[in-house]
Amino acid sequence: MGKVFNFLTFVSLSSVLISLLSSLEIGLITCILLLSLWIIYQSFQQVRLLQWLKNSYKTNPVTHGTWASIYSSINFLLRKNESQKNRLNNKLMAFKRATEAMEDGILIIDNDNQIIAITPRAEGYLGINQKQDFGSNILNHIRHPSFAEYLLSGSLNETIIVEDLSLDKKALEFKLIPFDSNQKIVLCRDVTKLRKLEIEKKDFVASASHELKTPLTVINGYLETVTEMDVSKAEKKRMLVEMTVQTKLMTNLIDDLLLFSKLEKVKPSNDAEQVNVSLMVNELSELSNKIDKNNHLIKFDIEKNIFITCCGEQLRSAFWNLINNAIIYTKKGGKITIRWLKTKEDEAVFEVRDDGPGIEAHHIDKLTDRFYRVDSARSRERGGTGLGLSIVNEIVQRHGAFLKIESQPNVGSKFIIFFPSLTTDVSKKVK
Ligand code: ADP
């Protein structure tokens, strides 16, 4: 304002001076001329400012005085606005990344159940496309009566599991949360694995009960016969022997079930330590010779000082299971070879080979299933629970290792455990 006042003072004074020196008319004409020039200059600057604003504030035009101050003030405001926009944008991006990282998918729907917003995770779970399906009804995408009932019942804050959704038969858990006066948040989570585990657990309990019931029924039957009927001494002895076999089977079953539950409780990393597995296999060679009592030709081939980061107790149990199976299933006089070595690829390998009866190809993939037996009657006779190989497989997987079974009927079987190079360490020698 000061500069405008100065200019107007200058125009007035120069007009008065010219009027005094020449005539009043010339003074007035000079005054009008100077004012016109000033108005033209201001209009030109205004047009330049508009142009500059339209052209997204590219380089500042060269200006002086008041106009220079106007440009620098606008620049200052623009920079402030830009940094606020950037900060807001960064916050929005961080929020978007956080919602994307969440296991839960999030949808926002309005009172008419139309989709207003959806996170990429929910898009994946429900096969919805943000752009295409924006504004569509959620019930068109989740076509399951139980979900429709849940949505319309208004039982908000409760959860519902919808199974067999989409082509890949996913199970999703939904939770509705009221949000604003006319919107709802729909949280969805993939619970397919969890449901599968629950079903497996129920099946496992049912199978375990059935397995325990079989020997109990046999024992009960014999006990009833002995108490209610006249039985010869020889017959009684036979029954007692049979009852002992069934009791042994039940004990083995309970031992294996306890081992399973122990495995589930303990994370392998909790018990992991550097173990000289070569020494452990050496101990197992002594144990197998004691148990086998020269019924088979057992040969051990053990490479010294192979260390593994593992749970020693679990690994011992897995190795012994394979050796014991070879002893049990191979006929008297058969040959069993046990090897513990390191390959060129730095893998540690435990191998049990026998020339026993072998296993037909169609059984191989199922051998590690719980309670799977090739010949149920023969396995039970020997106190077999059908859990041995599933325990071995569980332990092997917990150690990041891999169990391979090769077998041919009437030729023999080979059970091999491969430990990846990361878990082995031969640099640590025994003192
Ligand atoms: P089990 O307690 O019945 O031995 P496993 O899980 O250890 O249960 O073994 C499953 C089945 O695999 C056994 O019933 C048996 O038929 C077969 N099997 C295991 N090891 C051998 C082997 N070395 N030779 C032949 N068959 C075997």
Q: Which of 89, 107, 46, 96 is nearest to 71 (CA)?
A: 46
d(CA 387, ligand 1 centre) in Å: 9
Q: Domain 268-431: what homologous superfamily? A: Histidine kinase-like ATPase, C-terminal domain (3.30.565.10)
Note the pLDDT of residue 327.
Answer: 95
The CATH number of the structural domain formed by 102-190 is 3.30.450.20
Q: Sign of the CA dihedral 121, 122, 125, 128?
A: negative
Phi, psi of 62, rounded to the nearest 5 degrees:
-75, 120
CA gap 217, 221 in Å, rounded: 6
Note the pLDDT of residue 427.
Answer: 43
Note the pLDDT of residue 426.
Answer: 43
Question: 258 Cβ partners below 8 Å, 6+ apart?
Answer: none
The answer to whether the beta carbons of residues 366 and 372 sit under 8 Å apart is: yes
Q: Of 359, 375, 406, which is best to mutate to test ligand 1, by the most ligand atoms within 8 angstroms of its C-beta? A: 359
Tokens of 50: 């508009």
d(CA 275, ligand 1 centre) in Å: 28
DSSP H helices in 172-273:
192-228, 233-265, 268-271
Note the pLDDT of residue 238.
Answer: 92
Three-state DSSP state, 95: helix
CA gap 107, 147 in Å, rounded: 14
Smallest CA separation from ligand 1 atom 8, residue: 386
Give the nearest ligand 1 atom to 252 CA.
2
Three-state DSSP state, 231: coil
d(CA 391, ligand 1 centre) in Å: 12
Note the pLDDT of residue 405.
Answer: 97
Q: Of 330, 370, 379, which is best to mutate to test ligand 1, by the most ligand atoms within 8 angstroms of its C-beta? A: 379
Smallest CA separation from ligand 1 atom 4, residue: 384
The answer to whether the beta carbons of residues 15 and 31 sit under 8 Å apart is: yes
State the DSSP H helix or E strand holding residue 294, giving kind and residue range, or none if neither: none
Give the nearest ligand 1 atom to 390 CA.
6
- pTM score, whole prediction: 0.66
CA gap 223, 131 in Å, rounded: 73
Q: Of 325, 328, 375, 394, which is best to mutate to test ligand 1, by the most ligand atoms within 8 angstroms of its C-beta? A: 325
Q: Of 373, 391, 404, which is best to mutate to test ligand 1, by the most ligand atoms within 8 angstroms of its C-beta? A: 373
Note the pLDDT of residue 431.
Answer: 30
Smallest CA separation from ligand 1 atom 17, residue: 374
Note the pLDDT of residue 17.
Answer: 83
Phi, psi of 78, rounded to the nearest 5 degrees:
-65, -45
CA gap 95, 138 in Å, rounded: 24
Residues at CB less than 6 angstroms from ligand 1: 325-326, 329, 354, 356-357, 359, 367, 372-375, 379, 384-389, 413
| DSSP symbol at 70 | H
d(CA 373, ligand 1 centre) in Å: 6
The answer to whether the beta carbons of residues 122 and 106 sit under 8 Å apart is: yes
CA gap 383, 245 in Å, rounded: 7
Tokens of 377: 């009657």
* Angle of helix 312-329 versus helix 388-398 axis, rounded to 10: 150
| DSSP symbol at 399 | T
Smallest CA separation from ligand 1 atom 25, residue: 358
What is the pLDDT tens value at each position of the chain, 431 positions in all? 566 677 778 877 887 888 788 788 888 888 888 888 888 988 988 888 888 888 766 677 777 778 888 888 888 898 899 999 999 999 988 888 888 888 889 999 998 999 998 998 898 888 888 788 888 999 988 888 888 888 888 776 688 898 876 666 788 999 988 877 788 899 999 999 998 888 888 998 999 999 999 899 999 999 999 888 888 889 989 999 999 999 999 999 999 999 888 887 776 566 678 899 999 999 999 999 999 999 999 999 999 999 998 989 899 999 999 999 999 999 999 999 999 999 988 899 999 999 999 999 999 999 999 999 998 887 777 778 899 999 999 999 999 999 999 999 999 999 999 998 755 554 443 33
The CATH number of the structural domain formed by 198-265 is 1.10.287.130
